[in-house]
Structure 1
Amino acid sequence: MADASSHTAKGVIEHQRPGRLKEFWSYFKENRGAVIGLYVFFFFVLIAIFADLIAPYESSTQFRSFTLQPPVWSGGTWSFPLGTDALGRDMLSRLIYGARYSFFVGIVVVVVAATGGVLLGLIAGFAPRWLDTIIMRLMDIVLAFPSLLLALVLVAILGPSLLNAMIAIALVLQPHYVRLTRASVMNELTKDYVTSARVAGAKLPRLMFITVLPNCLAPIIVQAALSFSTAILDAAALGFLGMGAQPPTPEWGTMLADSREFVLRASWVVTLPGLAILVTVLSINLMGDGLRDALDPKLKRS
């Protein structure tokens, strides 16, 4: 009988998992913009992963006889379909490799910011009042500064580089995760299942990470998606200001900085990296809206 009941329980769990995924997708696909954003996002992800196979040339290869070559639609050659920059480097290749850098920045920043922010948020939610107050006041101090300005100051202290830019952006974004996680934890602590777990003798680590945290993941996932686009934007801004990735790294913000003096003479060298940033960030934001609608029960359509 015990074996039969255990097999039945496993069957129910296995049946629920695909059911939940199916329910999530049914809500997500109601937002057409989110679905389009998802497809565009995965398109850029594939470009970043297979950049070595897709790009016609290496990102730093220079063709000095073809400097500022216009794109095909402006009378250029099919050898450089999106034209070349001032050093004769293929714009298409640099944009493709730039996707890899931008997504690498987004992943690292979100992982670092979310890990530290969720941990601090859990501690603040379960901690005594005095420790909770200290943590939250520190987060308020960080949030009191304009995010880009604070990141710029941190990079100036650490030194201009892509790694230091990622560290600075992660530190700037971390308070959002702390506040969000703490608010979710405080809301969950009032529910009966937490009281039951405490009565059953659950220790604090189990209560924090196994009982409460899984029920706080929905808003954190949405915040991670939106932070991904913010990280790409901030990294591009720091690169444009010369405090992020350094030349000849084909990062989109750095490409904009290197090309700004040619904005009137060769507009494509500025327009194309700007469009890449715009489309990527827009697709991630649309996808984040769809995640919010699908994961937040209060926003689900009847």
Structure 2
Amino acid sequence: MTDTAQSAPKRPSALREFWYYFRENRGAVIGLYVFGFFLLVAALSPIIAPYDSTQQFRDHILQPPAWSEGGSWAFPLGTDPLGRDMLSRLIEGARYSFFVGVVVVTIASFGGIIIGLIAGFAPRWLDTIIMRIMDIVLAFPSLLLALVLVAILGPSLINAMVAIAIVLQPHYVRLTRAAVLSEKQKDYVTSARVAGAGRMRLMFKTVLPNCLAPIIVQAALSFSTAILDAAALGFLGMGAQPPTPEWGTMLAEAREFILRAWWVVTFPGVAILITVLAINLMGDGLRDALDPKLKRS
């Protein structure tokens, strides 16, 4: 008996098993590295930015990138219509974009998980009311609803984040409720209920930990959606306000110069594209690694 137990192969740790399935998706690994790079840039932006993001160089207005004719390595990515260094503003803008993503996902997921748990354990009439409200919110185009909310609250980055979080919350509610209804039918929940576990213990200690896998994937995908929506609201003048170096606001300030100074529009757009693409690729890898149905034996 002892020899048999010792000779049995050890089950890999949860973290090692997760990384094994995650790294099978090459795109997800690349996305993770790119995401980590942008996160490092955002964290170190006060140190690595060549200039202050609002500092104006009036003698270098709309100066092209260093490799173009008339460019200078003092401003590697050129300057904007007010003579501000594009590289410094892009680096500082990474902080705002990641700040938006973290705040929006935190608010949306926290509220969505709580409401989803309540809906999953509530009586049928209350569950129906909650889900119909979520359906009404989802019936509106997300960006249009965010615009309406920001128009009511007033244009600012904080209000834009609140509006985006409200728009994204129904996705967490529906996902959490579905996972709760699935887990409630399992034997371990019945055993905990028979053992005398209260409603709050069943919700938060017994059921919720087993519902986190799809929520984590949704959080990763919502992160990129939050960055996109914040950039869209900034571009429309309803998000971050000048001179804040948020990527969407940078696009809005530069749109009239698109034909004569391509770099003032191209670089913020490329930054948004690469960041969102990296996060989406990483989200696909998280789904592959956390969903047991997608794991290959």
TM range (shorter): over 0.9
Structure-2 residue corresponding to 1:119:
114
* Stretches of structure 1 lacking an aligned partner (at least 5 in a row): 1-14
1:20 is aligned to 2:14: yes
Q: Percent identity at matched positions? A: 80
Structure-1 residue corresponding to 2:100:
105
| Deviation, structure 1 residue 300 | 1.2
SS, match of residue 222 in structure 2: helix
Structure-2 residue corresponding to 1:283:
278
Structure-2 residue corresponding to 1:232:
227
| Deviation, structure 1 residue 130 | 0.6
1:223 is aligned to 2:218: yes
Question: For residues 167-246 of structure 1, what are the structure 2 equivalents within 5 Å?
Answer: 167-246=162-241
Report the AA paired with residue 66 of structure 1: H
2:85 paired residue among 86, 90, 102: 90
Structure-1 residue corresponding to 2:42:
48
Query: What is the alpha-carbon distance in structure 1 between the residues aligned to residue 220 and residue 296 of structure 2?
Result: 21
* Stretches of structure 2 lacking an aligned partner (at least 5 in a row): 1-9
1:258 is aligned to 2:227: no
| Deviation, structure 1 residue 301 | 2.3
Aligned length: 287
Query: What is the alpha-carbon distance in structure 2 between the residues aligned to residue 86 and residue 162 of structure 1?
Result: 22
Structure-2 residue corresponding to 1:65:
59
Report the AA paired with residue 43 of structure 1: F
Q: 1:213-257 deviations in whole A, cap 9, x for unaligned?
A: 000000000000000000000000000000000000000000000
Alpha carbon RMSD of aligned pairs, Å? 0.9
Report the AA paired with residue 150 of structure 1: L
1:78 paired residue among 57, 73, 76: 73
SS, match of residue 72 in structure 1: coil
Structure-1 residue corresponding to 2:23:
29
Query: What is the alpha-carbon distance in structure 1 between the residues aligned to residue 30 and residue 197 of structure 2?
Result: 44
Structure-1 residue corresponding to 2:4:
none
SS, match of residue 74 in structure 1: coil
| Deviation, structure 1 residue 287 | 0.1
| Deviation, structure 1 residue 72 | 1.2
**Given the two structures, how large is their TM-score scaled by the length of structure 2?**
0.96
| Deviation, structure 1 residue 157 | 0.4
Structure-1 residue corresponding to 2:7:
none
Query: What is the alpha-carbon distance in structure 1 between the residues aligned to residue 295 and residue 81 of structure 2?
Result: 50
Report the AA paired with residue 63 of structure 1: F
Query: What is the alpha-carbon distance in structure 2 between the residues aligned to residue 57 and residue 115 of structure 1?
Result: 37
Report the AA paired with residue 24 of structure 2: E
Report the AA paired with residue 73 of structure 1: W
Structure-2 residue corresponding to 1:166:
161
| Deviation, structure 1 residue 73 | 1.7
SS, match of residue 30 in structure 1: coil
Report the AA paired with residue 27 of structure 2: G
Query: What is the alpha-carbon distance in structure 2 between the residues aligned to residue 27 and residue 130 of structure 1?
Result: 41
Report the AA paired with residue 205 of structure 1: M
Structure-2 residue corresponding to 1:7:
none
Report the AA paired with residue 247 of structure 1: P
Structure-1 residue corresponding to 2:268:
273
Query: What is the alpha-carbon distance in structure 2 between the residues aligned to residue 168 and residue 284 of structure 1?
Result: 21
